[in-house]
Amino acid sequence: MTIQEMEMALSEQTADNTSEVNISVLSMEEVLAKVPMPYQDLKDAFDPVKAKQLPPQQSYDHEIKIEGDRTKLPQSRVYPISNYKLQKLKEYLDENLKKGFISPSHTPYALPGLFVVKPNRSLRVCGDYRKLNAITKRKRYPIPLIEETLAKVTGCKYLTKLDVIAAFNKLRMHPNSEDYTTFITSMGAYKYHVLPFGLTNGPANYQHYMNDVLWDHLNNFCSAYLDDILIYSKTLKEHSQHIWGVLQKLIDAGLQVDIEKCKFHVQETSFLGVLLSTDGLRMDPKKVQVVVDWSTPTNLKQVQAFIGFRNFYRQFIKGFSKIVGPMLKLTQKGVIFQWTDTCQKSFKLLKQRVVTAPVLQHFD
C-alpha cells in the first residue's frame, strides 16, 4: 500500500467529520518567526508568496501520452454539489485563475470535478482522472522504498523533516497535454497549467524531479519521498550544515517549504506514515486511533480499505498474515460477502495488535 492509498483510506474514515477547508496563511514575518535562527538568511525557502507563483516551464513539464483509442477520452456531465461545496469551488477557481494555475477550457472532452477529503479533514478540489489514466502510457520511475529510507537513520542523533508547499503544482503541464486535464463544473470547464493531483504519472514525474533537485545530497544525509524530505545527521553542527545545503538546493529550484509542517533538530518525527526516531520506528498514535475507531466493515470495499491500511503497518504486527486471513478470504474473486464471527474476531484482534505494537529498532 502506498502513502497515497493509505491517505485515501484515512480520508474515508474522516469524511463524515469534515466541516471546513483548513488553510493556514501566514505573512513572511510570521513565517520567519517560526524559522530557526541559523536558517533565517534562507528566507526564499520559506516565502509563502513565492509558493503561490506560477512556476516556469522546464524539461520536467508533465506530458500525458495517450495510448489506445482516443475516442475513449471522457466527456463528462456536471454533477450537483451542496451549497457549501459550491462556495468552496468558487473560492478555488478564483484563487487558481488569479495565480494562472488554471484557465477556461473549450475542449470537447472533460472529466468531472470533485472534492477529495484529505487526512487533515480539509477538502482538495481535483478532476476525476480515472478514465484518462486508463488510456495513459505509464512512466516507469521508482518511488523510494520506505524500508531503505528509514534504515538510513541508523546511528543518527538529529532529524529534520521538510514539507514542500503545493509540491505537484511546482511543475508545469506540458503545453500539448493541458487540454487533457480539463475538468467540468457548474461554473464552467477549466484546464490546468500546473501538475494537478490525481494523474497516473504525477508521483513518478515529481519523484524524478525531486531526486534531480537533491541529487548531490540524496542518500548521503537526506531522503526525498515525493514532497517529504528527511535530513539525518550524527552531530548538531553537521546537521545544521546539511539543512543549509538542502534548503539552498530548494531555493535554486524555486521551491518553498511549509514552516507549519516542518520539524527542525528533533529526535522523533512523523515520516512516511510512522513515527521515526533516532531509537527506532513506532506506529503514529494518530493512525492507531483511526484503527481503534474503525467501524466494522459492511461490504467488500470497506474490508479492502481496512486490510490495505493495516497492511502498510504489517511489520509492526506479529502474525499479521494469519490474523488477517479470514477477512482476506472475503476479497477473493467469486466469494460472496458474509461477515462471520470469525471475521469479527480477526477484526478485533488486529485492532488489539495495532494498539500494542512494539517499537522497531533500526538495523545496521
Q: Are residues 55 and 82 in the same domain?
A: yes
How far apart, in Å, do the first and last CA atoms of the chain sit? 25
* Final residue of a structural domain among 219, 251, 276: 276
Q: Are residues 258 and 305 in the same domain?
A: no
Residue 120 has a pLDDT of: 63
Residue 5 has a pLDDT of: 42
Q: Among the ranges 26-30, 50-54, 153-157, 320-324, which has the highest mean pLDDT value?
A: 50-54
Which of 75-89, 187-201, 203-217, 279-293 is predicted with the least confidence, judged by mean pLDDT?
279-293
pLDDT digits 0-9 by tens, 313-345: 777 888 888 998 999 999 998 999 999 999 999
Q: Are residues 31 and 158 in the same domain?
A: yes
Q: Are residues 296 and 246 in the same domain?
A: no
**Regarding predicted confidence, which is higher, 150 or 227?**
227
Q: How confident is the model at residue 31 (pLDDT cuts 50, 70, 90)?
A: very high
- Average pLDDT, stretch 41-65? 95
**Grid cell of 148 as nine digits:** 531503505
Q: Are residues 18 and 149 in the same domain?
A: yes
Measured from the Cβ of residue 316, the count of other Cβ atoms closer than 10 Å reads 20
Sheet with 228-233, side-by-side order of all strands: 222-225, 228-233, 158-163, 263-266
Looking up residue 227, the CATH number of its domain turns out to be 3.30.70.270
Q: Are residues 102 and 184 in the same domain?
A: yes
Report the C-alpha gap between 306 and 297 in whole angstroms.
8
Q: Are residues 182 and 331 in the same domain?
A: no
Q: Are residues 131 and 212 in the same domain?
A: yes
Q: Which of 284, 57, 253, 41 is nearest to 167 (CA)?
A: 253
In this predicted structure, the answer to whether residue 131 has a pLDDT above a threshold of 70 is: yes
Q: Please enumerate in sequence order all residues whose Cβ is within 8 A of that of 191, keeping only pairs 6 or more positions apart, or say none.
A: 102, 103, 104, 105, 107, 178, 179, 181, 182, 183
Q: Are residues 81 and 165 in the same domain?
A: yes
Residue 361 has a pLDDT of: 59
Q: Are residues 49 and 131 in the same domain?
A: yes
- Average pLDDT, stretch 75-96? 89
Residue 319 has a pLDDT of: 86
Residue 311 has a pLDDT of: 65
- Whole-angstrom CA distances from 87 to 69, 83, 148 are 37, 6, 44
Evaluate whether 76 touches 112 at the Cβ level (below 8 Å): yes
- Average pLDDT, stretch 8-30? 48
* Final residue of a structural domain among 260, 276, 292: 276
H or E element in which residue 159 lies: strand 158-163
Look up the domain containing 314 and give its range. Answer: 283-361
* Final residue of a structural domain among 276, 299, 325: 276
Q: Are residues 82 and 196 in the same domain?
A: yes
Residue 140 has a pLDDT of: 87
Q: How many residues does the chain have?
A: 364
Looking up residue 327, the CATH number of its domain turns out to be 3.30.70
Amino acid at 219: N
Q: Are residues 56 and 115 in the same domain?
A: yes
Q: How confident is the model at residue 79 (pLDDT cuts 50, 70, 90)?
A: confident
In the chain, the number of structural domains is 2
